[in-house]
Structure 1
Amino acid sequence: MQSLSLISLTLISAAVLAACGQKADETPATAPAETAQACGKVTVASMNWQSAEVLASIDKIILSQGFGCEVEIVPGDTMPTLTSMMEKGQPDVAPEAWINAVREPLEAAVKEGKLHYAAHSLTDGGVEGWWIPKYVADANPDLKTIDDALKRPDLFPAPESKGKGAVHNCPSGWNCQITTDNAFKAWGAKDKNFVLLDTGSAAGLDGSIAKAYERKEGWLGYYWAPTSILGKYEMVKLDAGVPLDREAFDNCNAKACDNPTKTDWPRAEVITVVTDRFKNAGGPAYDYLAKRSWGNDTVNQLLAWMSDNQAAGDDGARHFLRNNEAIWSTWVSPEVAAKVKAAL
């Protein structure tokens, strides 16, 4: 009875396929290749800063709506998330991992096959340095390097030190406060009639840029990308004028140091990290993460919109996907793009 039933079912199936103009061994022409392998459950880390939060939300929408994954967003931060991925294999995806601070153990985990690098999340990497407003750069085309700017204290007046220029420091307690202080020493800014201005907090630093822009005044100081401020206020990064000396930066300029040297800031590598389980099980969903990458200008503009509209990651993700199809559609197939668009 069992063999007769199987034969009957086979004949019926063949007849149905034949009626549709297909052979029994052919895949239906309308079945997208992306559905050939089930994506399953995926945990995605949403780090506690704006660009990482919105990228995790973008991944959630595309993975769930485009690839049929069951996505769970979990809170994260650089060290605890990557440590958990190395030791426990969870979460599956860290969309925006700034790997410089944990490079050695992470490289070891990659060599062992526990973790894998997908795309560079930020094509430009994380960028640090000293910046000036674009209107100052446009009015003074000779200002290209840090040395050039330090020749003109008159362009960057210190608010409480008449006749002196000001370099705005990084927020108190951040490591970049140390690197900025050391850069101030290395470039001999004090001897060039500049003072190092303590901004106190991230809000204080951002506020000083906003205030300068509103008044069209000069501003010189430390900042980084990508950030919402650089999406709202167009700034120009000064060339260090010297290459990165990695040994000098790591052993002196990034620490309390009596004799810092002129060196460029290292560019942070920002990579999507995935577990071995997800790389093997994700199929086309992993291929998406291996392609998904965007530039700092795009991120800056999105973060500025989020800040102006007090938008969380999910709202920012939907705004990006609705208004930047030319960017994200290159990350996926036309079939997946159509599914995502329909879901929006």
Structure 2
Amino acid sequence: MMNRKHTRTAVAAATVALALSGLSACGAAKTNSSGGSGSGKVTLTVPSWVGAEANAAVAKYILEHELDTKVETTQLDETVAFDALNSGKADAILEDWGGAAKKVSQYVDDKKTIVGAGELGVTGHIGWFVPKYLADEHPDITDWKNLDKYKKLFETAESGDKGQLLEGSPSYTTNDDALIKNLKLDYKTVYAGSEAAQITQIKENYKAKKPFISYWWTPQWLNSQLDLVEVKLPEYKEGCDADAKKVACGYAKTPLQKYLNADFAKDGGDAAEFLKNFSWTNDQQNEVAAMIANDKMSADKAAEKWVKANKDVWQAWLPKK
């Protein structure tokens, strides 16, 4: 996911091209607002994890039901999402973890085709986590300096004679291979394939009380159901992750950011103002994410349920009349 990043980068250039051509085919980002309550059509980019899906679902529901604005959502990795905003094929990124720094420099700072839209209100953090039952049995396992001492507990068929560090999707950008190498740990990253597959594996291991160590993050709805303990990595300091090959520090706590296409930010009327105002907490995001991922509700139904129960929260996001 990141050096101060939670970036989900595209797996291949072909994926990027396909995603952007798909956006074009959908006629995305054709906003025609003149500042009134009806704001035409808005396209929201959604990265491939359920917390971000929760953001988009709630924003979509309120835009459509309160601001008479049609919303399209499209799943794009962060770097591709910035390209889409730059080209005008999408209007908004609602959850950026700071992993596309070059794109921000290119489009926000230099070309000014994208503008910052403030903080989402959610603070993200990545780390390595073990189940509490394992930490209770081996208290010193929560210090990275002792991980090699316990590596046999984490050996799997996939990791061989090394300890397995469970990862999610191969498209997530992480520092973990560099951390393993630079901290001289006898471990190997093994990818579950997706967030959902990683969660399935974690839940199965937890239920069986098996030892495991996983790349994990907050906010995450599953944290309310499982007791996980973070392994202390070397302290994060500003710039310690600047060179991806030399990273030897833990991950930052990152206030997640929103971005808008610059033309949409200027001419998008109530829809743009609403997205600038949209801000909620880790717990609120987790509540909707859990409905989607754990309760198996559709994103639209989860958003509807949350919106109807939290009018006092979202009314503050609406444009002032």
TM-score by length of 1: 0.66
- Do the aligned partners of residues 306 and 84 (structure 1) sit closer, same or farther apart at CA in structure 2, a change above 3 Å counting? closer
Q: Any runs of at least 4 consecutive aligned residues in structure 1 with deviations exceeding 6 A, and if so which?
A: none
Q: d(CA) in 2 for partners of 1:106 and 1:241?
A: 27
- Do the aligned partners of residues 39 and 115 (structure 1) sit closer, same or farther apart at CA in structure 2, a change above 3 Å counting? farther
User: Do the aligned partners of 1:249 and 1:263 also contact (CA within 8 Å) in 2?
Assistant: no
- Do the aligned partners of residues 98 and 115 (structure 1) sit closer, same or farther apart at CA in structure 2, a change above 3 Å counting? same
Q: How does 1:187-206 map to 2 (within 5 A)?
A: 187-190=183-186, 195-196=187-188, 198-202=190-194, 205-206=198-199
Partner of 2:74: 75
Per the TM alignment, residue 76 of structure 1 is displaced from its structure 2 partner at its CA by 4.0
Same amino acid, percent of matched pairs: 19
Per the TM alignment, residue 244 of structure 1 is displaced from its structure 2 partner at its CA by 4.2
Deviations 1:4-49 (A, max 9, x none): xxxxxxxxxxxxxxxxxxxxxxxxxxxxxxxx94342131224252
Partner of 2:93: 94
Q: d(CA) in 1 for partners of 2:311 and 2:139?
A: 36
Q: d(CA) in 2 for partners of 1:146 and 1:328?
A: 42
Q: d(CA) in 1 for partners of 2:114 and 2:37?
A: 21
Partner of 1:147: 145
- Do the aligned partners of residues 298 and 146 (structure 1) sit closer, same or farther apart at CA in structure 2, a change above 3 Å counting? farther
Task: Say yes or no: does 1:243 pair with 2:236.
Answer: yes
Per the TM alignment, residue 130 of structure 1 is displaced from its structure 2 partner at its CA by 0.6
Secondary structure of 2:71's aligned partner: strand
Partner of 2:303: 317
Q: d(CA) in 2 for partners of 1:122 and 1:133?
A: 28
Q: CA RMSD in A?
A: 3.7
Per the TM alignment, residue 86 of structure 1 is displaced from its structure 2 partner at its CA by 1.3
| 1:221 equivalent among 202, 214, 219 | 214
Partner of 1:170: 167
Partner of 2:12: none
Q: d(CA) in 1 for partners of 2:283 and 2:144?
A: 22
Q: Mind listing any 5+ residue stretches in structure 2 that lack a counterpart? A: 1-34
Per the TM alignment, residue 175 of structure 1 is displaced from its structure 2 partner at its CA by 5.2
Deviations 1:275-296 (A, max 9, x none): 2333233455434322322344
Secondary structure of 2:123's aligned partner: coil
Partner of 1:280: 266
Q: d(CA) in 2 for partners of 1:200 and 1:58?
A: 28
Q: Mind listing any 5+ residue stretches in structure 1 that lack a counterpart? A: 1-35, 254-260, 337-344
Q: d(CA) in 1 for partners of 2:285 and 2:299?
A: 12
Partner of 1:133: 131
Partner of 2:176: 180
Q: Which has the larger radius of gyration?
A: 1
Secondary structure of 2:264's aligned partner: helix
Per the TM alignment, residue 306 of structure 1 is displaced from its structure 2 partner at its CA by 1.2
Partner of 2:275: 289
Q: d(CA) in 2 for partners of 1:325 and 1:236?
A: 34
Per the TM alignment, residue 214 of structure 1 is displaced from its structure 2 partner at its CA by 0.8
Partner of 2:22: none
Partner of 1:38: 37
Q: d(CA) in 2 for partners of 1:199 and 1:108?
A: 31
Q: How does 1:98-109 map to 2 (within 5 A)?
A: 98-101=97-100, 103-109=101-107
Larger helix fraction of residues: 1
User: Do the aligned partners of 2:154 and 2:213 also contact (CA within 8 Å) in 1?
Assistant: no
Which residue type is aligned with residue 316 of structure 1?
A
Secondary structure of 2:58's aligned partner: helix
Q: d(CA) in 2 for partners of 1:133 and 1:287?
A: 42
Secondary structure of 2:303's aligned partner: helix
TM-score by length of 2: 0.70
Q: d(CA) in 2 for partners of 1:99 and 1:160?
A: 34
Per the TM alignment, residue 147 of structure 1 is displaced from its structure 2 partner at its CA by 2.6
